[in-house]
Each structure stands twice: as structure tokens, then as C-alpha cells.
Structure 1
Amino acid sequence: MDPIIAATHADPYPYYATLRAEGGLTFHPGLKFWVASSARAVCAALAHAECRVRPAQEPVPKAIAEGIAGNVFGQLMRMNDGERQRCPRSAIEPALGLIDQDEVYARVSARLISTDADGLYKAMFRGPVCVVAALLGFSPAQSRAISDLTAGFAACLSPLSNDSQLAAAHLAAEQLRGYFIELLAESAGDSALLARIRQHFNGDEETMIANLIGLCSQTFEATAGLIGNALVALRHNPQLRAHPVDALLSEVQRFDPSVQNTRRFVAESCEIDGMRIEAGDVILVLLASANRDPALNENPDVFLPERKNRRSFSFGSGRHQCPGQALAMGIAGATLRQILDHGVELDRLSWHYRPSLNGRIPLFSTLAV
């Protein structure tokens, strides 16, 4: 076991506890980076001014730097610090906070959901992006196309993608850009969400388009993992169905988050959680481990949907905290309700985790009768 493999292990949480016991911030000699595993160390790494989201010498991954997917990547607020992060966030975050959750529920409810393996995949991965696209003003047909293209574009965000997947990601990015250019040209058809973003966005149109694509891509895997891990929790303990869906999901995102870790790149030598970290060092920030730190949550290894004073790093912390948390939780909650209402047979579900270096996203299959 190592901190990377742990993300898709059947049960990484005892291993995370071992890491916390060894110290909140330790150097892994095999992987050659620092590992922040305690709540204190994770909070310190996420808050420190010298901890950046990308290495200074490689703001865009080399594998995609020469294509349109790289152009989009380089403008994403989540992949930048300073003004290139603050400018788009200052327009997008407030707009996301004003989304009507009843509208989210209505758009999820309008989708056809089946509870076989294919239906669960579409509900987890395709449905949430369709909802976001619809909220931005796309038609149902366009929203389905945006969802399909987002799945292709997301490949550029993973170091595990092969050359053919990266080529497809460049093509998907080009097509997504075309859809958003047309949407922005049709000002009369603005959605409330898009109108608010446009009103407060001070950057150029290309930056806006890149971050609208980024909104879709962030929805793609993280929301799928939230829905999927809730189904895993219900499969392990069907009695959890007695609890409200919102309470169940709130504990799922803490107990078994879809984003297990993130990385920070140290720009200048500094001290973090009592350790001297040198410029150029990398810190693997174990969000999922911090969530299970007894210093953060009492009885952290017990699944409590009605947990009081729940604290979690699953959506990040500080200046890069996910601006779409409420939207993700709303889409996931509405989708989970639909799946359960359609009578999913939990005891017939088996799963494995999607290959990833940081995500914990189950892919389901249905056991034969």
C-alpha cells in the first residue's frame, strides 16, 4: 500500500490511520514527496501561500500543452493561483450559490433513470453534467452532447490517460468551445445562471469559456463518485435508507469521499506544520485521511448520517475550496432519490473502482440472479 494506490483500494482507511500515527506531515522516500495525512497538516498545506496548485515550471501538463485541451487547462481557475484564479471565481462562485435547488431537482427528475449497470453509469456520470449544461442554457439535446464531450475532455485531467484518449480530449475541448461560443452569442437566451456569471465576469471570453467547460468537468467525476459511494454505503448497510438522503450524502462525502487526495507544489522554501519544506517539493494532501482524524471529528470511523458538528475537507479548504459544493450535493441528492425510487436492487450490485490517482469512483455491475 502507498498513498496513491490507497485511493482505489477496497478499504484505505486503516492505512490512512497508520500514516497519521507516524506524523501529520511525513516524507515518503519511495514516492519522493511529502504526505499530509492529519487534519492539522492538511489544513496547513491548503492554506499556505507557498503551496500552489501547479508546479511553476509546468503550469500545463506536458502531455497536453500543445493542444486546445491544454489551452483550456491553463485557464481553469482550479489550476491557477493569484488573479487567474480569483477573477473567474469571483463571478462563478456567487452565481452557483444562487441556483434554485428546486430547479435542480426538477431537471434531474425529468431524466429517465434505469437501475441496471448501464443506467447507473448514465445517472452517475452523464446526468449531472446534463443538469449543469441545462442550467447554463443549453437545450436537452445540446446538454446530452455537452455531457458526452465532457467525458472525453476529462481524460486530459488524468495522468493515466493514453495518447488516443488525450487526442480525443483535444477534439472534445474544441467542440465544447464551439458550443459555448454559440451559447454566449445568443445573449437573448441566457439562463439565470449564465446571466449572473456574465454580469460579474471581468476576464476575456476565452477565459470564461474555459471555466464554463471546467464547471462541467468538475461535475463529471466528483459528483459521480458522491452518488456511487452513497450506493456503496447503502449496499453495506441497507438500514441507512431510513435516513434522509441529504443527511446520508453529507456523511458519505466525509466518510468515503470521491476525491481522496490533491497535490500542492511548494514555490519557495517554508515551514509547514513544523516541517521545513524546500522549493520544488510536492505535498500529497490526503483529504480523506484528514476527514477520519479524531482531532477533526469524534468517532470518525463510525458512519453517522445525523452527525453533529461534521467537518470535512472533501470539497477542499481555503482559497481553492470547491465553489460548487451546494450544486454538487443538490444534484447528487436528487439523483440518489431517483435511483432509490426506481427500486435499485442493492444486493445485486458489485463494483470496482475507476482507475485513478486521486479519485474513488465506483463502477457498478449487476450480479446475475
Structure 2
Amino acid sequence: MSDPAAVRRALRALFSPLGCPDPYPHYAVLREHGPVSRLPDGTVVVSRHADCDRVLRDPLFRVEDDAYLARTWPEGRDHLSVFSLMGEMVNQNSPHHERLRRLVGRAFTPRRVAGLRPAVEKLVDGLLDGLAERAAGGAPVDLMEHFALPLPITVIGELLGIPEEDRAWFAPRVQAVTSAIEQNLAGEALERADEATAELWDRLGALAARRQEDPRADLVSTLIAVREEDGDRLTRRELLANLVLLYSAGYETTSNLIGNGTAVLLDRPDLLARLRGEPERIDAWVEEMLRFDPPIQIASRWAGEDTELGGVAVAQGSQVVALLASANRDPARHGDPDVFRPDRAPGGSLTFGAGAHYCLGAALARLEAAIAFPRLLARFPSIAHAGTGAPRNRMTSLRGYAELPLLLS
């Protein structure tokens, strides 16, 4: 039975400016009492797996592209960060999305990702050496700062061909862009993102120019060289925008996956002990981490024509928010959805999306996590919380920890 008051409370809690440390009880309320709901501004919010899956797969539901921006926020293109975001393949609809994905995908093949395994293994071992040094004598160590963040930042730098001495420079600038997205591209956050994007484009543009003259076995060189049979290739905007995308998406998702997954293990010592005993099954554990407390919580679309979701009318032009993390815990899709069970049958998680916009970097994120967790547990026989972690509370597309202090020995 519908409970409008409970639905309103859940929506206020989820999207409160004060943040929402634990969204899962509110997701449950929405699935039960208002699976298709509306925010005060008319945005449609869907919380069940079937509806979220349709929003992701049905081309009727479009991503917010240049055309959408021109209609709803024409002055947005005056901001370089927004101009860059709209050049990313994730913000393109058919046929432009297929074109960009085809071009970028040629440089992001499974073979290239698999070829990174030795480099990732070496990097993980080096970071673990650093953790051991910092943890000597019982000192607490922040897993996010010293492991979960530098791992994907360095890996994506390796993949793109960013010189090692430059990689630390990229992180705060990419974070400035991400922060602006989380704050709805407004105010001082947007100004900082514009400045950061200008610096990123300058640095990446200079790197692309060097690779034009002196190609290497890296992603930047490949993206410059890739072209279709008819001569189609990436424009400068498309190249630089998608390099920024690969850098940002290449570390935010993985770092939060590692942080969230570690927190789950520490909250359940039986799980921690079990994973230590079956590291060969890490792929299944990573899949359950992605389902149970995903680093990506929501996806946004807009309705290209009048339609309906769950029997509720959705007018053309309406924004639609799919609560992916809620879909991942829909009891109609998963038995005992609020229980972490690494022996589940694979499939069903919407964390990396579905359909045409399925995350191109999903394989890389899985590879990094599958290498990181067994090595972390093997290196430190004792892992425990060192106080309370600092979660990111805002209800945005990302969920993770700003800090996760641990005791390691």
C-alpha cells in the first residue's frame, strides 16, 4: 500500500543538502511505497530494478547532451568544464554515442586492459610496502589516501601514458571537476572546475601534441591515431574531453569500490576470514561488493517523448533519476538483498549501467579490485578500523569514503 508521507520523508532524506550517510533504508521505503516518485521540481525517481533497467536500456530515455543543454541551460556552454563534460561519450545520444564509443573503444580493448595486470600487481605491492611503513608501531593509516586513491590514479596514468612525474598533478584538478558535478555545476565549485578544466586541457593537449610527433604504446597515442575506414576520427574537443572522462571515471569508481568493500569486510569479521581462505574466488566477491554497496549510486536521464514508468505517466522532457543502488537491493531481483553473499549467481547488478551506455572501464575497475583485495589481506594478517571513517554524505552519483583509517599489522 502506498504511503505518500513516508515517500516524501525518504526523498527528503536522500536528497537533503545535509547528506545521507545510510541511504539503504530510504531506498527500501521507496521500493515499497513509491517505486516511481517525484521530487518537488518534477524529477521522476525510480527505485525498483525493472524500472531502473528500462531507463538505462530504452533509447527513449536520453542522457543530457548538447541539445538538452541548449534547451535547458544555454549559457552552460560558456563554462569550459560544462563544454568538456558535454563532449564526453557518456553525455552523447545515438548516433553520436555509438560513434565515440566505437572510436574510443578501439583503444580500450580487453586485451589492453588484461595487459595491465603485471603493472597493477607491481603497483599494488609497492603501495602495500608504503602502508606497512606507515603502520609500523601501531600508527593508524588512511586506506583512501595511501592505497585506494593512488592505485587507480596511477593505473589510469599508466594506461593513458601520463609521465610518472606528472600523475600527482592531475588528481586535484580532476577532483575539482567531480566536486562541481556533485554540487550541480553551480557557484564557486563550477568556477574551480572551469579553472581545473582549462589546466587539464592545456596539459593533455600538450601531451597529445608530443604523442602526435612521437607515438608510444599508450592510450593517448592510440586515440590520436584511431580512425574509421571513412576517415572519421576524434575532434580536439572529443579527444580532450574523453581523456578527462577516462581519468576521472578511471579512479573515482575504483577507489570507492576498494574503500566500500574494505568497510564491508571489516564490519563482518566472518567475511574477512572467509575471503582470506578463498582468494581464488575474488571475482565473485568483487561482484557482490559492486552490488551490495556500489560506488555509483544513481544515473540520470530525460524522457525523449511521453511515456510511463510503473504505470505512472512521464511527460516528454522530464528528468528521470534511476536509483541504481536501490535496484541492486530489490528483493524482486535478489534474494536476501540486504545480506552480503559472495556465492550469489553472477549478474543483475546495475552498478556499471546497462545497455548502450554500459561503462567502458568496468573491466579495468574489476581487474584492479581483484588484484588489490587478496594482496591487501595476504600482506596484513590483522586489519581493523582505527576510529570512524569519514563517508561522503551527499546524495550524488558517487558513494564512498573521504577517509578510512585502519590499523594494520
Structure 2 length as normaliser, TM-score?
0.80
* Secondary structure of 1:350 counterpart: coil
After alignment, is 296-305 or 206-215 more displaced? 296-305
* Deviation digits for residues 309-363 of structure 1 (CA, Å, limit 9, x no counterpart): 3320000111111111011122233344454455373232422321433221122
The partner residue of 1:237 within 268, 274, 280 is 268
The partner residue of 1:180 within 204, 210, 235 is 204
* Secondary structure of 1:328 counterpart: helix
User: Is 2:58 the partner of 1:34?
Assistant: no
CA distance, structure 1, for counterparts of residue 329 and residue 87 of structure 2: 33
The alpha-carbon deviation at position 229 of structure 1 amounts to 0.6
CA distance, structure 2, for counterparts of residue 339 and residue 179 of structure 1: 34
User: Is 2:100 the partner of 1:88?
Assistant: yes
Change (3 A) 1:165 1:118: farther
* Deviation digits for residues 80-115 of structure 1 (CA, Å, limit 9, x no counterpart): 212332222112234332212413333443446436
The alpha-carbon deviation at position 196 of structure 1 amounts to 4.0
The alpha-carbon deviation at position 230 of structure 1 amounts to 0.5
The aligned runs of 1:72-111 (5 Å cut-off) are 72-96=84-108, 97-98=110-111, 99=113, 100-102=115-117, 103-111=119-127
CA distance, structure 1, for counterparts of residue 193 and residue 59 of structure 2: 32
2:14 corresponds in structure 1 to 6
Amino acid at match of 1:38: R
The aligned runs of 1:59-208 (5 Å cut-off) are 65-96=77-108, 97-98=110-111, 99=113, 100-102=115-117, 103-111=119-127, 113-114=130-131, 116-159=140-183, 163-187=187-211, 188-201=214-227, 202-208=233-239
User: Is 2:54 the partner of 1:44?
Assistant: yes
Change (3 A) 1:257 1:327: same
CA distance, structure 2, for counterparts of residue 29 and residue 364 of structure 1: 31
Change (3 A) 1:237 1:31: farther
Structure 1 length as normaliser, TM-score?
0.88
Q: Structure 2 regions of 5+ residues with no counterpart?
A: 1-8, 228-232
1:21 corresponds in structure 2 to 32
The alpha-carbon deviation at position 240 of structure 1 amounts to 1.8
Judge conservation of contact 1:261–1:288 (CA < 8 Å) in 2: yes
1:334 corresponds in structure 2 to 371
| Count of residues in correspondence between the two structures | 367
CA distance, structure 1, for counterparts of residue 286 and residue 201 of structure 2: 33
Judge conservation of contact 2:43–2:318 (CA < 8 Å) in 1: yes
After alignment, is 284-293 or 138-147 more displaced? 138-147
The partner residue of 1:312 within 349, 355, 363 is 349
Change (3 A) 1:268 1:160: closer
* Secondary structure of 1:95 counterpart: coil
CA distance, structure 2, for counterparts of residue 119 and residue 11 of structure 1: 21
Change (3 A) 1:32 1:353: farther
Amino acid at match of 1:89: R
The partner residue of 1:214 within 233, 245, 256 is 245
Amino acid at match of 2:105: E
The partner residue of 1:296 within 333, 346, 357 is 333
User: Is 2:321 the partner of 1:270?
Assistant: no
CA distance, structure 2, for counterparts of residue 4 and residue 182 of structure 1: 45
1:354 corresponds in structure 2 to 392
Judge conservation of contact 1:261–1:286 (CA < 8 Å) in 2: yes
CA distance, structure 2, for counterparts of residue 222 and residue 62 of structure 1: 30
* Secondary structure of 1:186 counterpart: helix
Q: Structure 1 regions of 5+ residues with no counterpart?
A: none
After alignment, is 66-75 or 357-366 more displaced? 357-366
Change (3 A) 1:247 1:152: same
* Secondary structure of 1:2 counterpart: helix
Change (3 A) 1:63 1:9: farther
Change (3 A) 1:313 1:178: same
After alignment, is 260-269 or 163-172 more displaced? 163-172
Change (3 A) 1:175 1:29: closer
Give the % identical residues: 25
CA RMSD of aligned residues (A): 2.8
CA distance, structure 2, for counterparts of residue 94 and residue 189 of structure 1: 16
Amino acid at match of 2:165: A
Change (3 A) 1:205 1:193: same
The alpha-carbon deviation at position 205 of structure 1 amounts to 2.5
Judge conservation of contact 2:156–2:251 (CA < 8 Å) in 1: no
CA distance, structure 2, for counterparts of residue 222 and residue 232 of structure 1: 15
Amino acid at match of 2:153: V
The alpha-carbon deviation at position 57 of structure 1 amounts to 4.3
Change (3 A) 1:81 1:5: farther
